[in-house]
Amino acid sequence: MPGKVNVWILAARPKTLWAAVSPVLIGIAIAIRADVVHPTAAALTVAAAMLIQTGTNYYNDYKDFVGGADTSSRKGPTRAVQAGLVTPAAMKRATVFAFSLAVVAGLYLMIRGGWPIVLIGVSSILFGVLYTAGKYSLANLGLADVFVFIFFGPVAVAGTYFVQALDWPIEAWLIGIAPGVLSVAILLVNNIRDMDEDRDHQKMTIVVRFGRKFGYFAYVSCIFLAAATPVLLFFLMGAPIWSMAAALILPISIPTIKTLITTSELEMEKLNPVLAATGRLLLFYSLFFSIGWVASP
């Protein structure tokens, strides 16, 4: 059994936190090039995003266990409550604590940005809970992918830029498409791996509704759309030329795509490394895009 600190780090699912941080990094890069960067707001946005994602993961750990979705037969990475490392009550308290810290980190942002940032912050926490809360949760209804795209994509990038510049041009929203679809790709790996268990628990993800082959097609489409986004932004809107370096995730992703598609339905636990690799693709994209955006002549 790992130490107490390691248990909470494990439960926070650090490999998924890049989904929260990556669009924020992109929003900061846009602000740097526009010469409107606000260091305090930028740092607090990173902190708030990570805390909201941590709170969401904690609540998901708690709710999937008490709802019966997480059992000893799960194929995914270890869940703290299901493994007996944390009691359900302790995980519920940790959820409240993480969200409370996110609110504290976001107070300055809400004062600076006004009602748009209040709306984004409240909605992020609300949908983080609704992701797995109750019979009509976003996951059960198959709507999680839509909200993941919106809040980990355009809203995260444009919101990060707004809290620094107090403005959100259409360019910031369009740039958010790529991290949004890559975050959906992370979710798709989870749903492809867990399709059988999700179906048994009436968790109607889009993979349960349309099958694993559709999940494979959607995953590859997300990668292609993310790679195409900086190229289209350059040719259609004159975006900085070096930001197209983010398209390099396409060749980088080929081994990951191959593993995803060729893994047998009887060996779905082998997709756990694919989940981590997809998180790294999102990180690479955000770094390539951000550095290229700032460094371009």
Residue 47 banded pLDDT, cuts 50, 70, 90:
very high
Quick check: helix, strand or coil at residue 297? Answer: coil
Predicted TM-score (pTM) of the model is 0.91
Tens digit of each residue's pLDDT (9 = 90 or more) over 97-137: 999 999 999 999 999 999 999 999 999 888 888 877 666 77
Contact between 129 and 59 under an 8 Å Cβ cutoff? The reply is yes
Tens digit of each residue's pLDDT (9 = 90 or more) over 132-156: 766 677 777 878 899 999 999 999 9
Residue from 246, 248, 182, 191 nearest 220 by CA: 182
- Give every CB contact of residue 270 below 8 A, 6+ residues apart in sequence: 259, 263
Tokens at residue 278, please?
């997809």
- What is the average pLDDT value for the chain, to the nearest integer? 90
Q: Which position has the higher pLDDT, 232 or 64?
A: 232
Distance of CA 158 to the CA centre of its chain: 15
Contact between 44 and 109 under an 8 Å Cβ cutoff? The reply is yes
The answer to whether residue 1 scores a pLDDT higher than 50 is no
Rounded distance, CA 11 to CA 252, Å? 28
Residue from 236, 42, 186 nearest 244 by CA: 236
Q: Quick one: angle between helices 254-262 and 272-295, nearest 10?
A: 160
Rounded distance, CA 186 to CA 259, Å? 14
Domains and CATH numbers, the chain: 4-295 (1.10.600)
Q: What pLDDT does 17 receive?
A: 85
Tell me how long the chain is.
Answer: 297
Residue listed under structure tokens 């609540």: 59
Rounded distance, CA 205 to CA 150, Å? 17
Q: What pLDDT does 113 receive?
A: 95
Tens digit of each residue's pLDDT (9 = 90 or more) over 237-261: 999 999 999 999 999 999 999 999 9
Distance of CA 50 to the CA centre of its chain: 10
Residue from 4, 195, 202, 177 nearest 86 by CA: 4
